[in-house]
Amino acid sequence: MNKRLLEEVSRQKELMNLNEQNIMGDIADKVVGSLSNSIMKSIFKNTLNPDNEDEDDETETSTSDTDYNKLSTTDFDEVVNNVIKNLEGGYYHPDMVKDGRLKSTYQMGNSGETMMGMDRKHGVDFAKSSAGREFWGLIDDANAKQKWKWNYMGGPLERKLKSLVPQMIKPVYDSLSEKYFNSEARKIVQSNSKLTFNFIYATWNGPDWFRKFAKKINEAVNNGITNPEELVKIAIKARIESGSSIIAQGGKKVSDVMNSKYS
């Protein structure tokens, strides 16, 4: 048995005052055995990963740093839900200002009824899909227009609504990516989690914005800039210098999320 293991087991037995010869002997064996397995696991892990001696066991199975490079359905859903959590939000209806649920000074511009970034008035391509019809159908059945408060996330409906948003977003994202990226740029975007996040959110922004942002990435790649981190800077700059105050304000938020979630 490994010398380090023997020394550690002996030390733990002394600390716990366990005597294997008395009535507690069986219990002691079990406790020490458990300690041995834990320590042995640590020894093997550190032998195989000498540069990660302080690595927590949870790191081995954590899904917080999901590899988005393959863009599986699960991965895509997680990115979409990060957009909802960090950049979008809950329910809004223009009637809220009229009936007093929101102060009359609250401004949402020309926005229609919105939920989790989905706009029933302007997001026709999303709303007319089967997932979109189900999404808004659930909201209608709940009489959200009259009953829900501003920024309400749906209560018992939240999980289901969140599962429908990626189903609305992905077909549009795939279509826009194929239409507006050149092949090399598209490959780079789909292989980098920060760029993927940026352009999934650009799908929310609308086809015109997606096209404008994609054009900047295409131009950069055509000019030999293929480092994803440099392309991320270009994507953020395109938002900030978009000429739209709303898109520009969102540029800083997108940068913060990308750097905190995917750095």
**pLDDT tens track, the chain, 263 positions:** 444 444 444 444 443 443 444 334 443 444 334 433 443 333 333 333 434 433 333 333 333 334 434 455 668 999 999 999 999 989 999 888 888 888 876 666 677 899 999 998 888 789 889 999 999 999 999 999 999 999 999 999 999 999 999 999 999 999 999 999 999 999 999 999 899 999 999 999 999 999 999 999 999 999 999 999 999 999 999 999 999 888 988 888 888 888 766 65
User: Whole-model pTM?
Assistant: 0.68
In whole angstroms, give the CA distance from residue 55 to residue 100.
Answer: 53
In whole angstroms, give the CA distance from residue 260 to residue 255.
Answer: 9
Q: Can you give the three-state secondary structure of the chain, one letter per residue?
A: CCHHHHHHHHHHHHHHCCCCCCCCHHHHHHHHHHHHHHHHHHHHHHHHCHHHCCCCHHHHHCCCCCCHHHCCHHHHHHHHHHHHHHCCCCCECCHHHHCCCCCCCCCCCCCCCEECCEECCCCHHHHCCHHHHHHHHHHHHCCHHHHCCCCCCCHHHHHHHHHHHHHHHHHHHHHHHHHHCCHHHHHHHHCCHHHHHHHHHHHHHCHHHHHHHHHHHHHHHHCCCCCHHHHHHHHHHHHHCCCCHHHHHHHHHHHHHHHHHCC
Q: Is the dihedral of CA 130, 132, 136, 138 positive or negative?
A: positive
Tokens of 134: 């189900």
